[in-house]
Structure 1
Amino acid sequence: MRFLVMLALPLAPAAFENAAHAQQQQQQQQQQQGENGLAAARKLFAEALRAEEKGNFAEALEKFRRVAQVKDTVPVRYRIAACLEGLGQLKEALRAYQAAIDLGAGDPKDLEVVRDAKRHTSSLGERIPQLTLTVSPRAPSSSEVRIDGDPLPVAELGKPIPLDPGTHDVTASAPDTVPFRTQITLPERARLSLLVPLDPKPAPKNEEHRTALPPPASPPSAITAPEAPAQTASSSSSSSARTTGGWIAVGAGAALLVGAGVTLALRQSDISKLEDACPNNVCPGEREDELSSIRSRAQAEGPIAGVLAGLGAVGIGVGTYILLSKPHPNASTGAGSNVNFLNGARGELRLGGRPAPGGGRLVLTTTF
């Protein structure tokens, strides 16, 4: 035993020396790998910056995240947040800016980056849209509401939910209710509230109540009974059409008379202009074209007023006649009936009245 111990004593220093040398080599290798990794990360960071400057935010974001795996710093987190903001992912960008602020808190060398990140978080808080969801009072307590497939906690109902700008799917379901689904497009800064109508399904109708009872047998004398109401309805329809046509004719005649009055007023105004501009019927030469136009207009306005007045008087007369007269027993009935008036040797005046959804329509035709 003593011999073995004496034999091992000379070998101990050599073993320790070999172990120390191996550890030193491993540390050197790790240091070399770290230096190579940092150099590659710096190169990748520069490439990501160029991609971000060109607006290639998706490419830049992927490279910045690879850099963060090598060395996570405040500037790297800030650039990740900026790319997320450029992609419109405002919620995640807000979290990334806050992560940069937390990492750089108290470090003087990152003070400017932290200050800029705080400015972005302030503006993003206003730009991020918010959606408030509530369910109908009759909805079961087991109702489940989802936004873009993610379930919404019950505690979040009735509270503003921050969402990224864009289109979002809102679905809801519960036992024995009609499922709900809709799409909502939210622009930046939107503040929207939505009521989710989760109401119970309608009870099924009893099929027994759908069976129609056979109609009672009618006596032979009842076969002709419907004819009397049909004639009454036809007569009522004809009377209504005549009344509608009469009022339309009166209204049209009154409108034409008003138009005639307005035309006469315009003619008198043009005559006054001519008298003022041409005292003693002597018109200035520099206004010859203008005064000639006024004179022509005044000459045309007189006949126009006369025609409008005549048609207006005819319309009022025809309408009054329709309203005061009774329908002829042999007159055709229905919505498209025509009535002839003033049939004589010199011509014919025909009035057609048709009911319409907003009132009636009058067709006035004259031949002479």
Structure 2
Amino acid sequence: MTVTLGPGAALAEPSAADRQTARTLLIEGRNKLEAGDAQGALADFRAAHAIMHVPTTGLDLARAQVALGQLVEARTTAYEVMTMPVARRESEAFAEARAAAAELSTVLDARIPSLRLRVLGAPEERIVARVDGEPVPREALGQPRKLNPGPHEIVVEAGGFVTDRREVTLKDAETAPVEVEVVLVPVRSSEVPVKGAPPAAPARSEERAPVPTWTWVAGGAGLVGLAASVGFAVDHAAARAKIERDCPSSMCDPREYDVERMQALRARWNWSLGLSVTLGVAGAAGVGAAVGGLVLRPQAKDERSALVPLVGPAVQGVAWTGVF
């Protein structure tokens, strides 16, 4: 007696050791499936079915596949059990397994969803479509494709067109095919490589002229001026507080302040205020000129225009010179 494994393939009847191993695997697999470990049960049932390849092991394998949501694989396994040759003096358990597999197959036919993929915009002979990494024959495009419930990745490409990638989720027992329409977009001519031509250099943004030296000098001087302005402002505030405390209503106590000390305190008040304001304005002008030199410097190829600082006794600022 032989056990059929597939078209044209046959092996000798399993040995006693094989039978005992398969029986143990079935028992362990059924316990795991009952406990909720469908993945572990699948491994046990697959091993047992590989050893025995009989209707009972195939039915258990199909049930584990159903528990894992592998409805397409379970339908294939159930159909295999249904079509196994009936042996002489076959046990009643095998006949019952075939009947159960036929019933399971009918249930799965109603549960397995399908996907209908339509590809437009490109010649059919160029189209290469894949679902979950598996190629779809061009002749089958547009026909319902049976898939397991859950998410699926669709990739469609064609020479001269932009590759389209998308994901669709199919539901259990979704009776109508899920329609997915892909319209391929041609690649722009500038993006299509010419055969034998050197690779195009990556696009670069227009280069700007180097930062002029005066920009760094103006910026540094401006920052120093602002820092000094803050220092003199603090000193002015201290002098003002001292005068308000020691000389209310501009009247100083003659026992503590002689004429020379009073003049020195008032001079400190005046020059700290003046220097704070003057250095603040000059510092701000220097920083502003530096920022303008950085932002508004011309393109490297345009050397006829430039940003020039204006600093003098009566004016501080910048001027843009060039050809317009």
Give TM-score, length-normalised by structure 2: 0.50
Change beyond 3 A, Cα 1:105–1:155: farther
Alignment-derived partner of residue 199 in structure 1: 185
1:183 Cα deviation after fit: 0.5
Q: Hey, what's the Cα distance between the residues in 2 that align with 1:128 and 1:73?
A: 25
Alignment-derived partner of residue 30 in structure 2: 49
1:115 Cα deviation after fit: 1.5
Q: Larger helix proportion, structure 1 or 2?
A: 1
Q: Hey, what's the Cα distance between the residues in 2 that align with 1:129 and 1:179?
A: 26
1:55 Cα deviation after fit: 1.9
Decide which of 128, 151, 159 is 1:144's aligned counterpart.
128
Deviations 1:148-181 (A, max 9, x none): 1111100111100000111111011111111101
Q: How many residues align structurally?
A: 175
Alignment-derived partner of residue 61 in structure 1: 42
**Is 2:102 aligned against 1:121?**
no
Alignment-derived partner of residue 72 in structure 1: 53
1:192 Cα deviation after fit: 0.6
Q: Is the 8 A contact 2:58 2:77 kept in 1?
A: yes
Q: Is the 8 A contact 1:145 1:170 kept in 2?
A: yes
> Which residues of 2 match residues 1-368 of structure 1 at below 5 A?
34-103=15-84, 105=86, 107=90, 109=92, 110-139=94-123, 141-190=125-174, 191-204=177-190
Q: Is the 8 A contact 1:104 1:114 kept in 2?
A: no
Q: Hey, what's the Cα distance between the residues in 2 that align with 1:108 and 1:34?
A: 18
Deviations 1:321-343 (A, max 9, x none): xxxxxxxxxxxxxxxxxxxxxxx
Aligned residue for 1:164, secondary structure, equals coil
Q: Is the 8 A contact 2:58 2:81 kept in 1?
A: yes
Q: Hey, what's the Cα distance between the residues in 1 that align with 2:170 and 2:16?
A: 47
Aligned residue for 2:84, secondary structure, equals helix
Q: Hey, what's the Cα distance between the residues in 2 that align with 1:79 and 1:39?
A: 17
Change beyond 3 A, Cα 1:70–1:140: closer
Residue 50 of structure 2 aligns with an amino acid whose one-letter code is Q
Structure 1 runs not aligned, ≥5 long: 1-29, 206-368
Alignment-derived partner of residue 217 in structure 2: none
Q: Is the 8 A contact 1:139 1:197 kept in 2?
A: no
Aligned residue for 1:120, secondary structure, equals helix
Residue 74 of structure 2 aligns with an amino acid whose one-letter code is A
Q: Hey, what's the Cα distance between the residues in 2 that align with 1:200 and 1:37?
A: 59
1:204 Cα deviation after fit: 4.7
Q: Hey, what's the Cα distance between the residues in 2 that align with 1:90 and 1:67?
A: 20
Alignment-derived partner of residue 222 in structure 2: none
Change beyond 3 A, Cα 1:133–1:105: farther
Q: Is the 8 A contact 1:172 1:179 kept in 2?
A: yes
1:140 Cα deviation after fit: 5.2
Aligned residue for 1:103, secondary structure, equals coil
Give TM-score, length-normalised by structure 1: 0.44
